[in-house]
Amino acid sequence: MARLVMKFGGTSVANIERIRNVARHVKREVDAGHEVAVVVSAMSGKTNELVAWATEASALHDAREYDAVVASGEQVTSGLLAIALQALGIQARSWQGWQIPIKTSDAHASARILGIDGGELIKRFKERKEVAVIAGFQGIHEETGRITTLGRGGSDTSAVAIAAAIHADRCDIYTDVDGVYTTDPRVVPKARRLDKVAFEEMLELASQGAKVLQVRSVELGMVHNVRVFVRSSFDKPEDIDPNASQPPGTLICGEEEIVEAQVVTGIAFSKDEAQISVRQIEDKPGVAAAIFVPLADANINVDMIVQNVSEDGKTTDLTFTVPASDYVRAKETISRSKDTIGYKSMDSATDVAKVSVIGIGMRSHAGVAAQAFKALSERNINIRAITTSEIKFSLLIDAAYTELAVRTLHTLYGLDQA
Ligand code: ADP
Ligand code: ASP
Ligand code: MG
């Protein structure tokens, strides 16, 4: 007997037929004798619709009310799945975030989980053989008693946090692909499914744009050592042997479990970027602080930073990227500080994309990035900015070349499927 968390994303619960399919996946594990907590997303498209409604009601809305609205999608699917399970003769009960409770910070719309008491769920596994069906994405801020949400894609994080709280043997993330691939399989049909990915690599893949797992869920999995397994909900429930040691999918695990580390494991990309260049800034100590402190105070996440060495020793240019959603605010913030920074002009672009190459093998191999520069230049793709870290390098390019760049690098590093 094992204790499992099974998480189902939006496409997996998109309609009643799919919810019935999910119920059969859950039944399979229950019949095999496992204790099961299920975490569900809203039906696909639902959260987008709710977000759009909140924005339509007022573009500048109260984040507490935004959360009250957008958390409702998961309330619906948790109830529906409990009904579908009961119809199959399985004892099941739905739980909203506040009922467990899943305690979070009060950062509405991007709250962090602070603690979960898994005691009641475990008691019900033991006493009633009851399946818990938990609404993902949402929690409660204890002091105010208000509903919170965890940021887009947050149900992954709910699932891993619950797995840690109930000491689950595994957290299965069922989605619309059958695992984590070398890059987004919808963009590169030659992408290969990976059997195992190290937490650190998954963290980079997720934070650089591979939306298959929310970044925070990977962090939590790493900290609490939860075995996270990404698999497909579209496999027929009846075709799967619940006792098979490794069904098709990808295990996110500690680095020590990866036997043959490749130099490059995967490629992620994001078009959600904007570039800002501040020109002819006086080249003296304190100018970087004059630019980046106001941005940090405005809660704007700066990613790539490139400062040119000044030719004349008097002025320099500074280029950096921010999430596209913060682009307008970032420009306004810089303009407001123009006098303290002291610059001549500012230009910017939103039609840019960031392509990142990731692999723990890079630690011990030199020249990996140089190969990419050469391959992209042969395709006439211009690189606007570069950043590197121990197991990753990222390139900023024109958005129009994203797919071409990803495919070129995928082939270059030998990731294409045979
Ligand atoms: P869910 O609704 O189940 O949470 P998501 O849409 O959030 O699913 O995540 C699954 C999607 O992530 C896939 O459909 C795929 O297009 C995308 N994706 C991006 N990068 C990768 C990758 N490296 N491996 C697998 N899927 C990826
Ligand atoms: N429904 C939420 C979203 O679309 C959470 C999730 O699906 O993970 O972001
Ligand atoms: Mg998701």
The ranges assigned to domains in the chain are 3-256, 266-412
Q: Measured from the CA of 154, which atom of ligand 2 is nearest? A: 8
Which among 7, 25, 152, 175 is the best mutation to test ligand 1's pocket, defined by most ligand atoms within 8 Å of the CB?
A: 175
Contact present, 343 and 281 (Cβ < 8 Å): yes
> Any residues with CB less than 8 A from the CB of 209 and at least 6 apart, and which?
268, 269, 270, 272, 354, 356
Distance CA 316, CA 308 (A): 6
Q: Which are the contacts of 344, defined by CB distance < 8 A and separation ≥ 6?
A: 279, 280, 281, 315
| Ligand 1 geometric centre to CA of 407 (Å) | 17
Rounded Cα distance between 162 and 168, Å, is 8
CA of 73 to the centre of ligand 2 (A): 9
Domains 3-256 and 266-412 share a fold: no
Question: Does the CB atom of residue 74 touch ligand 1 within 6 A?
Answer: no
Rounded to the nearest 5°, which phi and psi values hold at 55? -70, -35
Report the separation in Å between the CA atom of 163 and the middle of ligand 2, taken as the mean of its atom positions. Answer: 18
pLDDT tens by residue, 99-149: 999 999 999 999 999 999 999 999 999 999 999 999 999 999 999 999 999
Average pLDDT over residues 40-45: 98
Residue 310 pLDDT > 80:
no
Beta-carbon contacts of residue 153 (< 8 Å; ≥ 6 apart): 211, 213, 214
pLDDT higher than 70, residue 197: yes
CATH class of 3-256: alpha beta
pLDDT for 21:
97
Considering the entire predicted model, what is its pTM?
0.93
**Which of the 8 DSSP states describes residue 43?**
P
C-alpha 30 to ligand 3 mean position (Å) = 24
Cα 44 to ligand 3 centroid, rounded to whole Å? 10
Test site for ligand 1: of 211, 233, 251, 415, most ligand atoms within 8 A of the Cβ: 211
Cβ(139) to ligand 1 under 6 A? no
Return the ligand 1 atom nearest residue 11 CA.
Answer: 2
> Residue 175 CA: which ligand is closest?
1
Residue with the smallest CA separation from ligand 2 atom 9 is 152
Residue 203 pLDDT more than 80?
yes
List, as ranges, residues with CB under 5 A of the ion ligand 3.
Answer: 9, 153
Q: What is the pLDDT of residues 276-287, one digit of tens each?
A: 999 999 888 898
pLDDT at 7 over 90: yes
d(C-alpha 158, C-alpha 125), whole Å: 19
Q: What is the rounded average pLDDT of the residues 43-50?
A: 98
Is residue 97 within 6 Å of ligand 2 at its C-beta? no
Burial (CB count within 10 angstroms: exposed 0-12, middle 13-18, buried 19+), residue 397: buried
Question: Distance (Å, rounded) from C-alpha 316 to C-alpha 330?
Answer: 20
Tell me, rounded to whole angstroms, the distance of Cα 377 from its chain centroid. 30
Confidence of residue 356 (pLDDT cuts 50, 70, 90): very high
The minimum-distance atom of ligand 2 relative to the CA of 158 is 8
What's the confidence (pLDDT) of residue 245?
65
Residue 360: both structure tokens together: 């723990």
Cis peptide before 101 (omega within 30 of 0): yes
- State the pLDDT confidence band at 259, using cuts at 50, 70 and 90: confident
Residue type, 307: Q
Atom of ligand 1 nearest to the CA of 182: 23
10 Å CB burial of residue 256 (0-12, 13-18, 19+) is exposed
- Select from 43, 46, 137, 211 the residue to mutate for testing ligand 2; criterion: most ligand atoms less than 8 Å from CB: 137
pLDDT at 369: 94
Closest Cα to residue 95, out of 37, 152, 43?
A: 37
Phi, then psi, of 347 in degrees rounded to 5? -130, 165
CATH class, 266-412 region? alpha beta
Task: Tell me, using a 6 A CB cutoff, whether residue 153 lines ligand 1.
Answer: yes
